[in-house]
Amino acid sequence: MAPRPKLYRIILPVENIEKAAGFYQSLLGFAGQRVSAGRHYFDCNGTILACLDPRADGEGRDMRSNPEHIYFSVVDLEAVFERAKVAGCRSVDASIVTQPWGERMFYAVDPFGNQISFVDERTVFTG
């Protein structure tokens, strides 16, 4: 059997790379790294969250926000929830909930319309 591929980068479309870098630094709790004029990378334990502003990167085009959620597992869900409430999300769930499949989590929408969610790492369900 061939080795399984590793997911190593996810592109997150943004319209303002400076705003995105600041927002995700506040939300995730670390600075990340600017890798080009329109890209800012956050290494999320081996998978890169790549904020991409295509116009700032010279691509001459816009991108639509991701249509579905990106899920992060975190050690301190309550701390991330508190940061999400003040970081500038378009929306954040009113509370942390436990889903029928057992994950303790909350949903949010970033300033660029991307759907994101955070799950207590002790309750991650992978099927």
Nearest to 9 by CA among 69, 65, 62, 52: 52
Nearest to 80 by CA among 114, 117, 46: 117
Compute the CA torsion angle 38, 29, 86, 63 (nearest 10 deg). Answer: 20
3-state helix, strand, coil in the chain (%, to 5): 20, 35, 45
Looking at the domain that runs over 9-123, which CATH code has it been given? Answer: 3.10.180.10
Name the average pLDDT for the chain: 97
Question: What pTM was estimated for this model as a whole?
Answer: 0.94
Quick: pLDDT tens for 13-68.
999 999 999 999 999 999 999 999 999 999 999 999 999 999 999 999 999 999 99
Token pair belonging to 5: 């591929």
The number of helix segments (H) and strand segments (E) in the chain equals: 2, 9
